[in-house]
Chains A and B, each alone.
Chain A
Amino acid sequence: MVAIIETEKLTKSYGSHRGIVDVDLVVEQGEVFGFLGPNGAGKTTTIRVLLDLIRPTSGKASVFGIETTVDPVSIHRRIGYLPGEFTLYDRLTGGETLEYFGNLRGGVDTAYQASLIERFDLDPSRKFKEYSKGNKQKVGLVAALQHKPELLVLDEPTAGLDPLVQQTFFAVLREAVDEGRTVFLSSHVLSEAEKACDRVGIIRDGRLVKVDRVDALRDLAAHQVELRFTGPVPAAEFEALPGVSNVTAEDHVLRMHVTGPISPVVKAAARFDLADFVSREPSLEETFLAEYGHDAVEVANHGN
C-alpha cells in the first residue's frame, strides 16, 4: 500500500508546553484513519503540523511523500481540510464562501458542489454570520469536500451536526473512500470512529500510544460470556481455561470474561447440558477504557 501520511519522531513543543512527542504514524491510501484522544492530547497539533500551519520542533512529516515543510502548497493542492474550530467571511453568503474556496483551487465541479449542498441540506443564500453552529459546520464540510481531494483531513467533523446530517456525512465519507480517497479523521467520539474508521491511532499526553485496526483493538478487551446450564454450574471446569477470568456463578448461570480466542470456552461448554450461550462483543469504547483507563478519554456518545 502507498503511504499517504508518514511521520517520523514528530515532535512539537510550545516553549515549556508539551505539544506532541515522537509521533510515528503511517496512514495508507484508501483508508479511514481515526485519530483518537482526549481533549488536549495533541490531535490538532499533529494535524496542524501535517498541514505546515506549524513547524515541527524535531522529526518530520510527509504527506503524499512530500515533506510538509518543503512544499506545503503541493500538499494543499491535493487535500481537503476542516479545522476543529473555524470562522469564515461574515458578510459573504454560504454560496459565495464556497465559490471563493473553489476559485482558490482553480475551480470545482459545480454539479458536485450543488449535490453536496443539497445532501447536507444547506441554504447557500444566507450570510455566514447568520448560520447556526451546525450550518457553519456544513459550509466547512462542503468547502473541504467540493474539490474531491485525494486526502481529507477532518478535525472533529461531526461537531454541531444533527444525527441525520451525521448520517449523510458518513455516507459521503464512505463514497469518498470507495473512490480511493484517504481520510484522516480526528475525534474524541469513539462510537463515531468505530462506525467510520478502518484503523485508529490513540494519542495521549502528546504520545501515540496505540495504532491498530478497529476490530483488532476490540479484540484486546474481554468478551463478556454468559452460559446458562440446565443443571449445576461446573465453574471449576472453566476457571482453568486459557484467557478466562472473573468467573462468577449464580444459580444455573455462569458469567466470565474471555480474552483472546473463545473456542476453548465453547468446547468446554459443549460437554455440559447448555440451555443458552451469550457472548457480547465489546465496543471500541469499552476496549479503550479497559486498556487505557477511564481518565484517558472523555467519551461523548452523542446519543449512540
Chain B
Amino acid sequence: MAIELGRSPIAAPRRHVSAWSRVYGLGSVYAKTLRDSRLAFLIMAGLLGGIMLVAGAAIGTAYATATSRADLVNLATTAAGSMPGVTGKAVNVGTLGGYVTWKYGPLFVIAAALWSILALSGTLATEASKGSLEFVAVAPFGKRRLALEKLAAHLTVLTAVLAILALASWVAGAVFGSVPGDAVPPQAAIGYALWVGLIALASGSVAFALSPSLGRAGAAGIAGFILFAGYLLNNLQVTEPALTGPAYLSWFYWTAGHLPLAGEYDWVSLVPVAVVAVVLFVVGLEAFVRRDIGASSSIRTPRLPRAILGLHGPIGRAFGERFSISLAWGIGLGFFGFGIAAISRSLADSFHTMSPASVKIFHDIFPLFDISTAGGFLQVVFVQLGFIVVGFAAATLVSGWASDETSGRLEMLLATPLARASWAVSGGLGVYLAIVLMTIVFAAGVGIGALMAGSDAVTPMAGSVTLGLYAAAVAGVGIAIGGLFRTSIAAEMAAVAVTVTFLIDMIAPPLRLPDWVHQLALTAHFGQPMVGIWDASGVVACLVIAFGGLALGGWGMRRRDVAR
C-alpha cells in the first residue's frame, strides 16, 4: 500500500467548550475538580459557618448581661490559669469573639485542616490508584498543569468556605451580640478566616507534597500527625518547658498571638505559614511531575498474623479488615487520653497554690467530683471531644463494612452459602470487635496517664467504656441505614448522627431549649463516667441502638437488592 507522507490523519472535529464549563463543569480539570467538590463545600461551609452561628447564638443568649459575662470571664480565666496547657490563652473572653476563640477556636481550624489534608492527599493519589489519572494524564497538556488545576480548584473551594466562615463570624457578632464588644468587625472576621485557611493549607500542603511518593494513606497519616502534634506541642509547652523547642516547629506556635476574634492581631506571623504552604506545594508539584504515575512507595507495615486475618469466617474477616484502622484510632486516642490524664497532675499541683476563692469556683462548678484527679480532669477536658472523635472513628469503621458492597466484593461473598442477613450481622459484629479493640487501647492510654499522675486509674479506664459504647451506637446507626437503604451512605449518616448529637448537646443548654431536645443527644445520658458516676440509661440506649441497628441492618439486607 502506498503511503502519502507529510499529511496528518484527519482529526476529529473539535467541539466548542464554553467559558463557563471551563470554570465549572466538565470543560477542564479545574472545572471538574470544582464540580466534584460540591458536597465537600456544602459540608464544610455548613459545619464551620453553622457552628460559628450556633456558638454565637448560644453565648449571646446564655450570657446576655454584663453580670453573666463577668462570671464567664471569671470561670474562663480561672480555668485557663489552672489548665494553661489545655485550654489555651483566655483573651477577651468576655466578648463573643473572644469566648468563641477560646472555647471553639481549635475546632474550626482542625476541621478545616483535616479536610484539606484529605482533599490534597487524595486529589492525585486516589485517581492514580483508580487508574482514572492515566486517562487524564494523556490529555494534551502536561502533568504540571494537571496538578496545578487540581490544586487551584481546592484553593477555590477553601476560599469559598472561608468566606462563609468570615461572614458567619460577622453575622454572629451583629445578630447575637448582647453586650458591648460582641460585634465582630470585618477585619477580625477576615483575619480569623485567613488564619484558619492558612493553617489548613499548610497542613494540606504536607499531604500534597508527600502523596506522590507515599500514596494517599501514608501522606494523610503523616500530615495528620504533624497537625495534631503541632497543636498539642503548642498547648503543652506552656506547662512543660522541655517541649518549647519542638513547639517552635509548630505553625500553631508561630501564630499563637493572632487572635482576631478576640481583638488581637499578628498579621506578620501568618507569613511563614503561607511560605511553608507555597514551598510544599511546589515540592508536591515537582514530585508529581517527576515520578511515574501511580508509582508510590507505600509505607511498609508488618503483615498481620494469620490468626488476626480472620480467614475462618465472616466475623473474623470483618474484624481482620478493620484491625489496623481500629488499632490506629485506639493508639491516637490513647495518646491523647494519656496526655490529658498525665497533665491532670499539674492542675492538682496548682490547686495547692490557688486562692481559696478560685478553688471554690471549681468546686461550685463541679460539685460532684474532684477535677484535680485524672478522672475528673478527663471528664471536663476530654470526654466531649472524645465522643466526637470516637464517633467519627466508628463512621470510618462503618465505611469499611460498607465497602464490601460498594466495592463489588459482596457479590462474590453472597454467592457462597452466606445469607444476606448473616453478612450484615457478622460484618457488624466485626465492626463492634474493632470498637472493643479501639476502646481497650484507649483505656490503656488513659490508665497509664492516670498512674503517672498518681491518680486512680481504674475509674477513668472503666469510664472509657462509655466512649466505646457510644461508638458502637453510632456504628449501629450506620449499619441500620446501610442495611435498610444502601451502604454507600452508611458512613455519612453515622457521621451526621455524631455531628447532630454534638450540636444538640452543645446548644440545647445555653439556648435553654426544651429538655426533651437536649435528651435527644445520646451524649447527654452518660453521667460523668470518668469519675465513676454512671447513667444506666445511656448505657442501655447505646446497647439497644447498637444491637437494634444490627438487627435492622440484617433485616433490611434481606429485603433489598444488592447494589453494584
Contact = CB atoms under 8 A, between A and B. Distances in A.
A104 B416 contact: yes
Main secondary structure of the interface of B (DSSP, over half): loop
A51 B408 contact: no
Given A72-B419, A77-B417, A86 B412 contact: yes
Contacts of A219: none
Given A92-B309, A96-B311, 20 more contacts: A51-B415, A52-B414, A53-B411, A53-B414, A53-B562, A73-B419, A76-B414, A76-B415, A76-B418, A81-B411, A83-B415, A85-B564, A86-B409, A86-B412, A87-B407, A96-B306, A100-B317, A101-B416, A104-B314, A104-B413
A106 B312 CA distance: 9
B182 interface: no
Please name the 3 residue pairs, one residue from A and one from B, whose CB atoms are nearest each other, closest first. A81-B415, A54-B561, A104-B416
A195 B311 CA distance: 37
Interface string B313-327: 110010001000000
Contacts of B415: 51, 76, 79-81, 83, 153
Contacts of B314: 104
A88 B412 contact: yes
A210 interface: no
A89 B418 contact: no
A10 to B, nearest CB: 15
A88 B407 CA distance: 8
Interface string B268-296: 00000000000000000000000000000
Nearest to A103: B312
A89 B409 contact: yes
A81 B309 contact: no
A98 to B, nearest CB: 10
Contacts of B562: 48, 53-54
B409 A140 contact: no
A72 B411 CA distance: 13
Nearest to A83: B411
B556 to A, nearest CB: 13
Contacts of B419: 72-73
Nearest to A82: B412
Interface in A75-127: 76-77, 79-81, 83, 85-89, 91-92, 96, 99-101, 103-106
A52 B306 CA distance: 32
B411 to A, nearest CB: 5
Contacts of B564: 85
Contacts of B312: 103
B414 A103 contact: no
B417 A103 contact: no
Interface string A3-28: 00000000000000000000000000
Of the listed residues B309, B312, B407, B411, the one surrounded by the most CB atoms of chain A closer than 10 A to its CB is B411
Interface string A165-181: 00000000000000000
Contacts of B413: 104
A65 B313 CA distance: 28
Contacts of B321: 89, 91
Interface of B: 306, 309, 311-314, 317, 321, 407-409, 411-419, 561-562, 564
23 contacts: A48-B562, A51-B414, A52-B414, A53-B411, A53-B414, A53-B561, A54-B562, A72-B419, A73-B417, A73-B418, A77-B417, A81-B411, A81-B412, A81-B415, A83-B415, A86-B409, A87-B408, A88-B409, A88-B412, A89-B321, A91-B321, A92-B309, A105-B416
A103 B413 CA distance: 11
B561 A140 contact: no
A300 to B, nearest CB: 21
A55 interface: yes
Given A55-B561, A99-B311, A76 B408 contact: no
A143 interface: yes
A247 B417 CA distance: 59
B371 to A, nearest CB: 44
A143 B413 CA distance: 11
A104 B306 CA distance: 16
A99 B316 CA distance: 14
B408 A85 contact: yes
Contacts of A89: 317, 321, 409
Nearest to B313: A103
Interface string A47-80: 0100111110000000000000000110011011
A34 to B, nearest CB: 20
A123 B517 CA distance: 59
B313 A83 contact: no
Contacts of A87: 407-409
A85 B407 CA distance: 10
Contacts of A91: 321
A83 B408 contact: yes
Contact of B417 (A51, A76, A86): A76
Contacts of A73: 417-419
A260 B383 CA distance: 84
A73 B420 CA distance: 9
Nearest to A72: B419
A21 to B, nearest CB: 17
Of the listed residues B314, B409, B413, B415, the one surrounded by the most CB atoms of chain A closer than 10 A to its CB is B415
A87 B419 CA distance: 19
Given A77-B417, A79-B415, A104-B313, A86 B561 contact: no
A140 B417 contact: no
Nearest to A127: B303
A110 B412 CA distance: 20
Contacts of A140: 412
Contacts of A105: 416-417
A153 B562 CA distance: 17
B466 to A, nearest CB: 32
Nearest to B314: A104
A105 B309 CA distance: 17
Nearest to B562: A53
A124 B415 CA distance: 22
A80 B416 CA distance: 8
A180 to B, nearest CB: 21
Contacts of A103: 311-313
Contacts of B414: 51-53, 72, 76
